[in-house]
Chain A
């Protein structure tokens, strides 16, 4: 029986109704970004349902604890403002949970009310609720603007607003800020590994590696070893440059850092796939004198070798993708490089720049592609397109499994959230190694399907 039995191939224009969204709301992105600061407790200034939902989703994705506190608004605070709640909340948080930083984000509730977070944080300091040397930072994350990626960008920018300091006119040679964007902890590790191999001193922020992939040790450390430290965040103002990976998630912080501390910045695509990784490595060369170690060149060569070996299975295959703009642009580029054909691309995250970027990546083949952004660019729409004309592969988050089953199309899980598989955060999809993993997963999906569907006489031992 079809799971999505009410979905037909009749694409009716909608103005008001979103069905099966390809996005979620801002605060979860801010919470994820804040977990990338060492010894930081995210705090959701709103009613507590948001905070529970966001923590639950992060835990379902990572199979890890995702800690955050909330102001727990009641009807009274919704009318009179949430100042008392946040003050009491900060007092309890610093008394009991002892973080170094509390990173406050807002919800549609406190945004509609118009609570002034910096003013409340100052009052908390004045009342002695914030111990010496501890920090409260904030960003505004109204859920009715943008998407979860916007929230991630806003909290990442807050790290610059609150911490980045320019102490000298001389920038530190070889110190580069890397803003990795919304990727898995393993991706952040992989990006750091590449920067280190290039001989550079990188400050990566936010950095959830070591936080949302913590070891099991019979003790629970609410603040695991990972996360960008306050010292590092402050030092970003003295770096020789900033490389922002992904304009949506990382661009605003890089721009803010340029304005605040005159750190030059370059906003690049997320380094998913060969060409985007090439661009990243080329950018790093500007800071290390141009050297690329043999190890990286060999990794790249292995990827090209793999692509060459797999080419016959990839050529001409059609793909439907959904997810977040920064990831979709790089994935689309990679698929094109693999001689595959991205056919439908949707993101719930609004912003027309996305369509321009997708157009640039697709070049001449853009005419055959349907790409859409915004509230009605949802998974119902995507499914309707697929019903009209099928594709060979789906790439996106867990919610795609319903379409995958109904239409019998293999699904490559990528992006956020992946809540029905375990272990994905340990394996990067960025860099040349990540690209190799993507290739392996795509080919596995195709060949598993071929093995399943082959008649007995053409069931192959060697493929």
Chain B
């Protein structure tokens, strides 16, 4: 079998300066914030930056500093959600065999019921799957006045007696913290009483932190403390990895599971798309952690490394080229000729279809311009997909990412945790003397370490064009102005933005829900994405908007 490497060409490198119809990037930036009260303008000015890259004296790249992960300005119309959404909705929601009980009034549990498309596929009818269910203590006014712990314990008991799940997780909502319900104590008591059910809680009240991000951190801590490491027997398999920060939206994780299987890589767990309790419990046996969504899961990656020894690498399976690169990176880590051959064979088998799709679609998409304002990860990773069909990303931003996601992990030592996020617990993790295993340390790995192979996320800005507009926590006002001034060919955001953007005559691709399509991960996903974007940027709708008599 041939192990010749298939060429994964660069189709487009966004490098031209960002200029729109006589307006410079500076002028556009000024226009975005002109109407704000002065205090708000001062704050927003630090969250809107032009991507001016400079070389310092040593010749290494420096990026502008962006203000991120700070409180939202009231009234500005933010895209952001809350800590509960980050914890229950994002990280814990996708696991099919935990009963997730929302401790609060009915809304929080209701709105996070099946609304994120984290698909799951239990192998048989007998396997648990609670994802189509929403469980809540449905707090009433008397629970606010007299406390809700008693009702919470009764609800846990009722859930256990009806369903006998392996695990029950409890999520605190806004009023729970205020009235002083001790959800952790209640769970400890119930865990003792129920004996064969792991019961634990998350203090993810909506007001904590400044966004979903705090909820990610709280969920990481909870998973790590309550589940990771519980399986003491080493699972079978060669080249054991975990895939961290992949939530199986629209079946992305299914594509990746199949890919790993074909390459002979053993996937012990995914955090947390299509996941189970058992997967979390055996995650510490992995030799390598592969991080997809850096923002939501880098905490677990760091904690596993400290406690159990396995290092982590940043991977990206969004984009065909990125997928090939990430697979090769995993193969490079294990440095096994058989694995390398299987990876190359897989790429060789899959890539021609990608190139064919690119060649067919490129003439219709080349030179078109995209804007991406999505969560904490996809605003970066999806730029690869656009560049593969010749499209430029002229503006991008995250709802809730931190500076390291924009500027790269090298700025981590410079980040100051402000008062709004100080109360999010940082776990102190120590080496587990029994289970810690030294990471592989052959000579090659030493050289990999020197090449920034591990724990290196360079951030979004490094990959973006000169003077591209980078906007953190974009407001509705800024998004609308930006679209009016720059007339992008496509705008990527979420459900709240979609229809307002489309009223402006610009198609809006939802990159949270994928507009109920997908998958977009891996090679097959890339082809699907090219086709969806082609349909959207070339739709006939825009020719019909004006009435013939207007």
Please report A residues at the B interface, Cβ cutoff 8 Å: 1-6, 12, 14-21, 23-25, 27-28, 43, 46-50, 52-57, 59-60, 63-78, 85-86, 88-93, 95-97, 107-109, 111-113, 142-145, 147, 214, 216-222, 348, 375, 380, 399, 402
Whether A92 pairs with B144 at a CB distance below 8 angstroms is no
Which residues of B are found within 8 Å of A76, using beta-carbon distances? 419-420
Whether A52 pairs with B79 at a CB distance below 8 angstroms is yes
Closest chain A CB from B28 CB (angstroms) = 17
Closest chain B CB from A419 CB (angstroms) = 8
Whether A18 pairs with B420 at a CB distance below 8 angstroms is no
Per-residue interface assignment for chain B, residues 321 to 341, with 1 indicating a CB less than 8 Å from any chain A CB and 0 otherwise: 000000000000000000000
Whether A50 pairs with B107 at a CB distance below 8 angstroms is yes
Counting contact residues on chain B (CB < 8 A from A), the size range is 35 or more
Closest chain B CB from A241 CB (angstroms) = 34
Closest chain B CB from A82 CB (angstroms) = 9
Per-residue interface assignment for chain B, residues 57 to 91, with 1 indicating a CB less than 8 Å from any chain A CB and 0 otherwise: 00000000000000111111111111111000000
Which one of B110, B128, B494 lies within 8 Å of A21 (CB-CB)? B110
Whether B174 pairs with A46 at a CB distance below 8 angstroms is yes
Task: With CB as the reference atom, state the residue of chain B lying closest to A91.
Answer: B37
Task: With CB as the reference atom, state the residue of chain A lying closest to B71.
Answer: A74
Whether B499 pairs with A375 at a CB distance below 8 angstroms is no
Provide a sorted-by-A list of 22 A–B residue pairs whose CB atoms are within 8 angstroms.
Answer: A1-B122, A6-B128, A16-B158, A18-B106, A19-B136, A20-B113, A21-B110, A48-B78, A48-B80, A49-B84, A59-B495, A59-B498, A71-B75, A73-B206, A88-B39, A92-B40, A92-B76, A95-B37, A142-B141, A143-B104, A143-B106, A399-B113
User: Bound complex: CA of A12 vs CA of B499, how far in Å?
Assistant: 43
Q: Does B233 contact A (CB under 8 A)?
A: no
Which residues of A are found within 8 Å of B480, using beta-carbon distances? 220
Which one of B83, B210, B499 lies within 8 Å of A65 (CB-CB)? B499
Other 10 A-B pairs with CB < 8 A, given A93-B75, A144-B175: A6-B163, A17-B137, A17-B155, A24-B110, A49-B108, A54-B111, A67-B500, A70-B72, A92-B76, A219-B504
User: Bound complex: CA of A20 vs CA of B73, how far in Å?
Assistant: 34
Whether B139 pairs with A92 at a CB distance below 8 angstroms is no
Task: With CB as the reference atom, state the residue of chain B lying closest to A110.
Answer: B174
Task: With CB as the reference atom, state the residue of chain B lying closest to A52.
Answer: B81
Q: Does B476 contact A (CB under 8 A)?
A: yes
Whether B139 pairs with A59 at a CB distance below 8 angstroms is no
User: Bound complex: CA of A20 vs CA of B422, how far in Å?
Assistant: 35
Task: With CB as the reference atom, state the residue of chain B lying closest to A224.
Answer: B503
Closest chain A CB from B454 CB (angstroms) = 34
Whether A18 pairs with B137 at a CB distance below 8 angstroms is yes
Q: A72-B74, A76-B419, A219-B503 are in contact. Are A96 and B496 (CB under 8 A)?
A: no
Which residues of B are found within 8 Å of A85, using beta-carbon distances? 74
Whether B177 pairs with A24 at a CB distance below 8 angstroms is no
Q: Does B539 contact A (CB under 8 A)?
A: no
Q: A49-B85, A144-B144 are in contact. Are A96 and B419 (CB under 8 A)?
A: no
Which one of A21, A64, A219 lies within 8 Å of B106 (CB-CB)? A21
Q: A15-B158, A71-B74, A219-B504 are in contact. Are A4 and B132 (CB under 8 A)?
A: yes
Whether A145 pairs with B141 at a CB distance below 8 angstroms is yes
Which one of A43, A89, A111, A375 lies within 8 Å of B138 (CB-CB)? A375
User: Bound complex: CA of A49 vs CA of B211, how far in Å?
Assistant: 8
User: Bound complex: CA of A3 vs CA of B125, how far in Å?
Assistant: 9
Q: A17-B137, A214-B503 are in contact. Are A144 and B105 (CB under 8 A)?
A: yes
User: Bound complex: CA of A64 vs CA of B110, how far in Å?
Assistant: 21
Q: Does B130 contact A (CB under 8 A)?
A: yes
Q: Does B195 contact A (CB under 8 A)?
A: no
Which residues of B are found within 8 Å of A218, using beta-carbon distances? 503-505, 545-546
Which of B39, B177, B205, B495 counts the most A-chain CB atoms under 10 A from its CB? B495
Interface residues of B in 2-60 (CB under 8 A from A): 35-37, 39-40
Whether B178 pairs with A112 at a CB distance below 8 angstroms is yes
Whether A108 pairs with B37 at a CB distance below 8 angstroms is no
User: Bound complex: CA of A221 vs CA of B504, how far in Å?
Assistant: 9
Whether A78 pairs with B125 at a CB distance below 8 angstroms is no
Whether B36 pairs with A92 at a CB distance below 8 angstroms is yes
User: Bound complex: CA of A97 vs CA of B36, how far in Å?
Assistant: 10
Closest chain B CB from A421 CB (angstroms) = 12
Q: A56-B115, A67-B476, A78-B174 are in contact. Are A25 and B110 (CB under 8 A)?
A: yes
Whether B496 pairs with A16 at a CB distance below 8 angstroms is no
Which one of A49, A64, A147 lies within 8 Å of B206 (CB-CB)? A49
Q: Does B226 contact A (CB under 8 A)?
A: no
Which residues of B are found within 8 Å of A216, using beta-carbon distances? 502-503, 505, 541, 545
Which residues of B are found within 8 Å of A18, using beta-carbon distances? 106, 109, 135-138
Q: A91-B75, A218-B505 are in contact. Are A5 and B125 (CB under 8 A)?
A: yes
Which residues of A are found within 8 Å of B541, using beta-carbon distances? 216
Closest chain A CB from B175 CB (angstroms) = 4
Whether B81 pairs with A48 at a CB distance below 8 angstroms is yes
Closest chain A CB from B187 CB (angstroms) = 15
Whether B111 pairs with A92 at a CB distance below 8 angstroms is no
User: Bound complex: CA of A170 vs CA of B208, how far in Å?
Assistant: 55
User: Bound complex: CA of A15 vs CA of B157, how far in Å?
Assistant: 11
Which residues of B are found within 8 Å of A91, using beta-carbon distances? 37, 75
User: Bound complex: CA of A111 vs CA of B177, how far in Å?
Assistant: 13
Whether A92 pairs with B37 at a CB distance below 8 angstroms is yes
Which residues of A are found within 8 Å of B504, using beta-carbon distances? 218-220
Task: With CB as the reference atom, state the residue of chain A lying closest to B546.
Answer: A218
Whether B499 pairs with A63 at a CB distance below 8 angstroms is yes
Which one of B158, B163, B178 lies within 8 Å of A109 (CB-CB)? B178
User: Bound complex: CA of A375 vs CA of B152, how far in Å?
Assistant: 14
User: Bound complex: CA of A67 vs CA of B503, how far in Å?
Assistant: 13
Task: With CB as the reference atom, state the residue of chain B lying closest to A15.
Answer: B154
Closest chain A CB from B489 CB (angstroms) = 14
